[in-house]
């Protein structure tokens, strides 16, 4: 074993640099130990204690003393020869960015973040989402296995705070051109989507892109959003936002078939959006091709094509019938079952349940109407011992008087079918009854007039008589139904602050790191939270922490 | 119980405290409850049998210094026989670095919190090499202590009498802008301290040789200001102690065997667990094999929002936390995650003058699994060898969990 040393006069280095140099020297081949110090008395004594002080050494406090103890002279000299290189070696360690462990810190690091993406294990997801909402952030919750109760509570809280709560189990979204979670690369454009189906959204957005149009926003809601207890909370909010988003011209609503009450609630919001809405409820029979601004698609591809076709199209403003004070219900008095069924389906889809004698919910007694009611007066129960209402107007007129006497009734919907075999001049009998209903009860009367210009009754004359009596006359069921819906679906569009949708995306990611990488690759500002289960997963401590929060 | 509000009260008290260095006196004259056969030590309570090497050595040194024992053997005998009482410095409003041993005759700094009126005390820093705080007790060590008590202390006391007290909080704030973090690096602070004292010393010194000696001693020791700084931090932390419902830490201290912690809303209980061996860089000839478990009251600096918490202010010593200036920033950023507030007076230039992370919240520590970062010197496990390195240590996380459970019991959650 041999000891070599070197003294560099007047060479000051910080002690930390010296300690690192010493460690590097000691790590070289065949080097047993090394000492690198400034030559103060205390330091030299330290070297002596460790048998590292060469004899007859002369060093001043400002001198750098380097001592190497090695197996061979060559190894010692080689080590001393590397001192300069070791001293000047720049550490190539890339400065690693700070990774916060809490949402709170991440929010402080990126205060402009509007969004929090959450993909932690389900049992922790609701807690993280709650924290994000309380920090005033919109949430994209990818995690599944979140309880229905938690979902309802989170969405209610989001509503109170005017925030989006996408998910749980929300796989995809596109906001301001940035894809969250799973999303295709699509150009920005004028079509906005709201969907409870991740793959459905991906399919429609991809097709729209391939057809040359683009996407303004695609908002996921989570797969259970349109179920009864969640009641489309997020889909409604998404619709309101897109209705208020200046970048969105056409809206597509995609879902598996929702609960009927949820459908009505959602479509009423869609009704007042003031923009064309393509409704694609997979597996749900469309009640019409179009009702007002609602366009019903039977398939995803049809939804994409319809949406692309509607870009740039004008939305016809529907007149909103004014109902008498206290009026809340429609009564439909039809002479034929099929028109009755079609009208019922359309009205019921948007406004809500309609009682009838043709489908559920049924009137217990068809002679007495209830709430919204629609009757096929050609049914046996009404025609026993009398002529069919297409020939004999008496029954319909009596029932009309009965209905308008109910102060809760605001609108009467009738069909009048002309042609061979029918009453020779139905308007001559119905118009006076309509005029009476209008004059005495201020009830709105809407007529679907079916016939041709060659029919014996004279289509145009019939129309004129009816209109003079105060009826609003349509040739198409869907137009008449749309008019009726307008009377009951309300007209107030909910204003929603949608500005944040057009801001450059800044997001906090909690969970899957690939979502963070993807945000960064798309050019969004993002901070990744190095998330771990609270209290290392210790349930007793978690329970205490939870109690301390409330 | 609004825990956040309680913590806010506690941290505001800590930041509003203004510790002034007002003077010096022998421990027996000023430290409450000080007695001739009482030896104060760093960390939570510990009996002689469980004391580590450096603490035992320092106790022996103190007994020799006080003239209570004539040699090492009799000193150890007294300690074993229970003829000496031991108590944590913290139980007597005091703190001391490493072994933290204070005996009745020793001159101590008096820090007075001018906002809330409480006082804190610390011994005088001995500099480097063979020193009592690392457990050395040779004649040379005792000679230095005698000089400190006979020359340094009295001169400083007279010098401080000319002043209205030195504002240590202001000194620290300035030192943080000069590359110190207030625990491992006190280079700038010690020079500021020398600058404040020099004219006062010049006015009161009667003997030029002593004056020169004192100025040289203060200037050569980059830790001169560490002890007043620690006492200042103790005064700040004590001002925040005892806030009902608060989960904020008001003391962290190690005795070389156990790491102990106190929490503002949990009375005077210590939460303890075995102290760990710090990770760091070692002086020539030493390795982690030689290291004593973590020791000293200097963790009062991190408790008060400096030290490891202000690492971002001290890029010159980044190697202790593994390397790059970015790591130093990250060290401080990490501490924001577990603290209640950003300090009103201590700010960090590279973080755009953000206040240092201040007031450790045990809830956040447990929830996030982030324990406080502590910059520390490393003591040799044998008494008297001294410092063998410096680096980073974290308290055992069990003590935070214990405290959380104790909180739940005390406040019936």
How far is the CA of A350 from the CAs of A218, A284, A411, A419, in angstroms?
23, 14, 16, 32
Mutate to test the interface with B, among A57, A65, A101, A550 (most CBs of B within 10 A): A101
Torsion angle of alpha carbons A478, A479, A483, A489, nearest 10°? 40
Q: What pLDDT is attached to residue A542?
A: 93
For residue A77, the tally of other CB atoms under 10 A from its CB is 15
Token pair listed for A84: 């300069």
Phi, psi (rounded to 5 degrees) for A289: -75, -40
Distance from CA of B354 to the nearest CA of A (A): 12
DSSP A175-197: ETTEEEES-----EEEEEEEES-
Chain A's closest residue to B390, CA to CA, is A16
- Which chain B residues are within 8 Å of A93, Cβ to Cβ? 323-324
| A536 and B CB contact within 8 Å | yes
How sure is the predictor about A93, in pLDDT bands with cuts at 50, 70 and 90? very low
H-type alpha helices, B270-378: 300-303, 325-336, 362-368
- Are the CB atoms for B241 and B233 separated by under 8 Å? no
- A352/A259 Cα distance (integer angstroms): 11
pTM of the model: 0.81
pLDDT of residue A87 exceeding 80, the answer is no
pLDDT of residue A101 exceeding 90, the answer is yes
Q: What pLDDT is attached to residue A63?
A: 83
Asked if B407 lies within 8 A of A548 by C-beta distance, the reply is: yes
Task: Please give the average per-residue pLDDT across B21-28, as a whole number.
Answer: 98
Asked if A42 lies within 8 A of B129 by C-beta distance, the reply is: yes
H-type alpha helices, B117-161: 139-147, 153-161
- A269/A153 Cα distance (integer angstroms): 21
- Which chain A residues are within 8 Å of B413, Cβ to Cβ? 544, 547-548
pLDDT of residue A477 exceeding 60, the answer is yes
Three-state secondary structure call for residue A468: helix
Of B281, B284, B366, the CB nearest to A50: B284
- Note the pLDDT tens digit of each residue in A485-533: 999 987 677 888 899 998 999 999 999 999 999 999 999 999 999 998 9
- Note the pLDDT tens digit of each residue in B370-398: 999 999 999 999 988 888 989 999 999 99
| B276 and A CB contact within 8 Å | no
Of B286, B330, B405, the CB nearest to A544: B405
- For all residues of chain B together, what is the average pLDDT? 96
Chain A's closest residue to B366, CA to CA, is A535
Of A42, A534, A545, the CB nearest to B128: A42
Q: What pLDDT is attached to residue A92?
A: 43
- Note the pLDDT tens digit of each residue in A171-206: 999 999 999 999 999 999 999 999 999 999 999 999
| B333 and A CB contact within 8 Å | yes
Rounded percentage of chain B residues whose pLDDT exceeds 90: 91
Of A22, A47, A532, the CB nearest to B369: A532
| A229 and B CB contact within 8 Å | no
How sure is the predictor about B348, in pLDDT bands with cuts at 50, 70 and 90? very high
Query: Is the peptide bond between A282 and the residue preceding it cis, with omega within 30 degrees of 0?
Result: no
- B191/A377 Cα distance (integer angstroms): 103
- Which chain B residues are within 8 Å of A104, Cβ to Cβ? 337
Asked if B401 lies within 8 A of A101 by C-beta distance, the reply is: no
Give which of B278, B277, B279, B275 is closest to B257, Cα–Cα. B275
The continuous run of DSSP H or E covering A417 comes out as strand A409-417
Rounded percentage of chain A residues whose pLDDT exceeds 70: 98
Size of interface A-B (CB pairs under 8 A): 106
Distance from CA of A91 to the nearest CA of B (A): 8
How far is the CA of A464 from the CAs of A397, A431, B173, in angstroms?
19, 10, 91
| B29 and A CB contact within 8 Å | no
**Per-residue H/E/C for B206-242:** CCHHHHHHHHHHHHHCCCCCHHHHHHHHHHHHHHCCC
Q: What pLDDT is attached to residue B320?
A: 67
Give which of B375, B357, B359, B371 is closest to B401, Cα–Cα. B371
Asked if A101 lies within 8 A of B368 by C-beta distance, the reply is: yes
Phi, psi (rounded to 5 degrees) for B387: -80, 135
Task: Please give the average per-residue pLDDT across B269-279, as a whole number.
Answer: 96
| B405 and A CB contact within 8 Å | yes
Distance from CA of A348 to the nearest CA of B (A): 51
| B128 and A CB contact within 8 Å | yes
Distance from CA of A93 to the nearest CA of B (A): 8
Give which of B303, B253, B394 is closest to B15, Cα–Cα. B303
Where is mean pLDDT largest: A1-5, B159-163, B282-286? B159-163
Q: Count H helices, E strands: chain B? A: 14, 16
Asked if B366 lies within 8 A of A535 by C-beta distance, the reply is: yes
- A427/A455 Cα distance (integer angstroms): 14
Higher pLDDT, A318 or B245: B245
Chain-centroid distance of CA B113 in Å reads 17
- Which chain A residues are within 8 Å of B128, Cβ to Cβ? 42
- Which chain B residues are within 8 Å of A16, Cβ to Cβ? 281, 316-320
Asked if B401 lies within 8 A of A548 by C-beta distance, the reply is: no
Asked if B319 lies within 8 A of A104 by C-beta distance, the reply is: no
pLDDT of residue A217 exceeding 60, the answer is yes
| A34 and B CB contact within 8 Å | yes
Distance from CA of B129 to the nearest CA of A (A): 6
Q: Mention every residue, 6+ apart, whose C-beta is less than 8 A from residue B319.
A: A16, A17, A19, A20, B281
Burial class (CB in 10 A: 0-12, 13-18, 19+), A58: exposed
- Which chain B residues are within 8 Å of A37, Cβ to Cβ? 284
- B297/B102 Cα distance (integer angstroms): 12
| A22 and B CB contact within 8 Å | yes
| B284 and A CB contact within 8 Å | yes
- Note the pLDDT tens digit of each residue in B72-115: 999 999 999 999 999 999 999 999 999 999 999 999 999 999 99
- Which chain A residues are within 8 Å of B333, Cβ to Cβ? 98, 100, 105, 109
- Note the pLDDT tens digit of each residue in A34-76: 999 888 888 888 888 888 888 888 888 778 899 999 999 999 9
Task: Please give the average per-residue pLDDT across A407-434, as a whole number.
Answer: 96
- Which chain B residues are within 8 Å of A42, Cβ to Cβ? 128-129
- For all residues of chain A together, what is the average pLDDT? 92
pLDDT of residue A211 exceeding 80, the answer is yes
> Please, what sign has the CA dihedral across residues A102, A104, A109, A112?
positive
- Are the CB atoms for A342 and A477 separated by under 8 Å? yes
Asked if A93 lies within 8 A of B323 by C-beta distance, the reply is: yes
Asked if A67 lies within 8 A of B284 by C-beta distance, the reply is: yes
Q: What pLDDT is attached to residue B324?
A: 82
Of A33, A93, A534, the CB nearest to B285: A33
- Which chain A residues are within 8 Å of B370, Cβ to Cβ? 101
- Note the pLDDT tens digit of each residue in A351-384: 999 999 999 999 999 999 999 999 999 998 888 8
How sure is the predictor about B404, in pLDDT bands with cuts at 50, 70 and 90? very high
Task: Please give the average per-residue pLDDT across B246-259, as a whole number.
Answer: 98
For residue A384, the tally of other CB atoms under 10 A from its CB is 7
Asked if A91 lies within 8 A of B324 by C-beta distance, the reply is: yes
Three-state secondary structure call for residue A511: coil
How far is the CA of A49 from the CAs of A52, A236, B56, B286, in angstroms?
7, 79, 22, 11
| A469 and B CB contact within 8 Å | no
Task: Please give the average per-residue pLDDT across A207-225, as a whole number.
Answer: 96
Q: What pLDDT is attached to residue B321?
A: 57
Q: What pLDDT is attached to residue A94?
A: 43
- Note the pLDDT tens digit of each residue in A256-272: 888 888 999 999 999 99
Mutate to test the interface with A, among B5, B217, B285, B398 (most CBs of A within 10 A): B285
* Pairing between β-strand A290-291 and β-strand A294-296 as defined by DSSP bridges: antiparallel
Chain-centroid distance of CA A343 in Å reads 31
Q: CA angle, corner B310, sides to B306 and B314, nearest 5?
A: 120
Asked if A19 lies within 8 A of B389 by C-beta distance, the reply is: yes
Asked if B283 lies within 8 A of A46 by C-beta distance, the reply is: yes
Asked if A102 lies within 8 A of B337 by C-beta distance, the reply is: yes
């Amino acid at each position: 074993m041999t000891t070599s040393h070197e003294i560099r006069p007047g060479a000051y280095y910080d002690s930390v640099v010296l300690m690192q140099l010493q460690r590097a020297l000691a790590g070289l081949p065949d080097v047993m130990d090394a000492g690198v110090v400034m030559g103060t008395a205390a330091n030299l004594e330290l070297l002596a204690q460790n048998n590292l002080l060469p004899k007859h050494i002369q060093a001043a406090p400002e001198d750098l003393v380097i001592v190497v103890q090695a197996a061979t002279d060559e190894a010692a000299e080689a080590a001393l020869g590397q001192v300069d290189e070791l001293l000047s070696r720049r550490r190539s360690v890339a400065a690693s960015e700070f990774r916060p462990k809490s949402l709170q810190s991440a929010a402080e690091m990126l205060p402009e973040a509007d969004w929090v993406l959450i993909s932690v294990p389900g049992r922790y997801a609701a807690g993280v989402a709650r924290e994000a909402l309380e920090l005033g952030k919109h949430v994209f919750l990818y995690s599944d296995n979140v309880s229905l109760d938690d979902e309802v509570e989170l969405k209610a809280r989001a509503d109170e705070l005017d925030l989006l709560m996408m998910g749980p189990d929300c796989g995809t979204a596109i906001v301001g051109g940035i894809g969250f979670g799973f999303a295709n690369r699509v150009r920005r454009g004028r079509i906005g989507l709201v969907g409870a189906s991740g793959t459905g959204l991906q399919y429609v957005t991809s097709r729209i892109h391939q057809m040359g149009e683009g996407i303004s926003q695609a908002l996921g809601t989570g797969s259970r959003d349109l179920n009864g207890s969640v009641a489309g909370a997020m889909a409604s909010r998404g619709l309101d936002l897109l209705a208020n988003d200046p970048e969105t011209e056409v809206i597509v609503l995609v879902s598996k078939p929702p609960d009927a009450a949820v459908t009505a609630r959602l479509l009423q919001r869609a009704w007042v959006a003031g923009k064309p809405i393509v409704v694609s409820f997979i597996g749900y029979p469309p009640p019409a091709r179009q009702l007002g601004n609602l366009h019903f698609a039977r398939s995803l591809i049809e939804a994409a094509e319809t949406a692309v076709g509607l870009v740039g199209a004008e939305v016809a403003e529907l007149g909103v019938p004014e109902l008498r004070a206290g009026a809340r219900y429609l009564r439909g008095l039809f002479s034929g079952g099929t028109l009755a069924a079609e009208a019922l389906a359309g009205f019921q889809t948007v406004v809500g349940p309609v009682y009838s004698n043709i489908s559920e919910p049924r009137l217990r007694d068809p002679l007495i109407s209830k709430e919204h009611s629609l009757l096929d007066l050609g049914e046996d129960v009404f025609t026993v011992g009398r002529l069919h209402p297409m020939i004999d107007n008496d029954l319909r007129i009596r029932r009309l008087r009965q209905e308008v006497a109910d102060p809760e009734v605001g609108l009467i919907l009738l069909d009048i079918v002309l042609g061979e075999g029918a009453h020779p001049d139905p308007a001559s009998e119905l118009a006076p009854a309509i005029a009476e209903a209008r004059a005495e009860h201020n009830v709105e009367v809407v007529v679907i007039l079916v016939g041709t210009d060659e029919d014996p009754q004279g289509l145009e004359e019939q129309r004129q008589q009816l209109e003079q009596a105060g009826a609003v006359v349509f040739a198409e069921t869907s137009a008449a139904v749309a008019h009726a819906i307008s009377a009951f679906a309300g007209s107030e569009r909910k204003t929603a602050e949608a500005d944040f949708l057009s801001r450059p995306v800044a997001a906090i990611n909690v969970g899957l790191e690939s979502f963070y990488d993807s945000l960064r690759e798309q050019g969004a500002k993002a901070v990744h939270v190095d998330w771990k289960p609270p209290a290392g997963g210790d349930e007793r401590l978690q329970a205490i922490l939870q109690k301390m929060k409330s | 119980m609004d825990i956040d509000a309680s913590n806010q009260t506690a941290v505001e008290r800590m930041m509003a405290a203004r510790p002034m260095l007002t003077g010096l006196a022998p421990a027996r004259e000023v430290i409450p409850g000080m007695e001739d056969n009482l030896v104060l030590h760093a960390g939570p309570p510990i009996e002689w049998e469980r004391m580590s090497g450096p603490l035992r050595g320092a106790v022996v040194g103190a007994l020799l210094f006080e003239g209570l024992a004539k040699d090492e053997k009799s000193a150890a005998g007294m300690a074993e026989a229970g003829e000496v009482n031991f108590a944590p410095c913290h139980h007597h409003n005091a703190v001391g670095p490493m072994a933290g041993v204070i005996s009745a005759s020793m001159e101590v700094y008096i820090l007075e919190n001018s906002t809330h009126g409480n006082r804190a005390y610390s011994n005088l820093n001995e500099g480097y090499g063979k020193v009592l705080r690392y457990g050395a007790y040779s004649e040379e060590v005792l000679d230095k202590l005698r000089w400190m008590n006979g020359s340094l202390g009295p001169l400083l006391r007279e010098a401080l009498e000319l002043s209205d007290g030195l504002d240590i909080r202001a000194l620290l704030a300035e030192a943080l802008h000069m590359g110190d973090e207030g625990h491992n690096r006190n280079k700038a602070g010690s020079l500021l301290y020398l600058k404040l004292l020099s004219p006062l010393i010049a006015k009161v010194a009667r003997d030029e040789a002593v004056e020169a000696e004192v100025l040289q001693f203060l200037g050569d020791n980059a830790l001169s200001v560490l002890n007043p700084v620690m006492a200042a931090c103790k005064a700040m932390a004590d001002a925040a102690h005892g806030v009902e419902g608060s989960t904020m830490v008001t003391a962290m201290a190690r005795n070389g065997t156990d790491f102990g912690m106190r929490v503002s809303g949990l009375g005077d209980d210590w939460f303890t667990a075995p102290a760990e061996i710090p990770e760091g860089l070692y002086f020539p000839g030493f390795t982690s094999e030689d290291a004593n478990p973590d020791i000293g009251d200097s963790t009062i600096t991190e408790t008060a929002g400096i030290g490891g918490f202000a690492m971002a202010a001290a890029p010159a010593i980044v190697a202790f936390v593994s390397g790059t200036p970015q790591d130093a920033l990250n060290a401080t950023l990490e501490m924001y995650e577990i603290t209640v507030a950003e300090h009103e007076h201590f700010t960090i230039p590279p973080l755009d003058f953000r206040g240092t992370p201040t007031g450790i919240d045990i809830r956040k520590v447990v929830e996030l699994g982030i324990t406080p970062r502590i910059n520390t010197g490393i003591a040799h496990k044998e008494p008297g060898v001294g410092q063998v390195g410096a680096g980073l240590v974290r308290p055992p996380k069990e003590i935070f969990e214990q405290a959380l459970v104790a909180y739940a019991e005390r406040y019936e959650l």
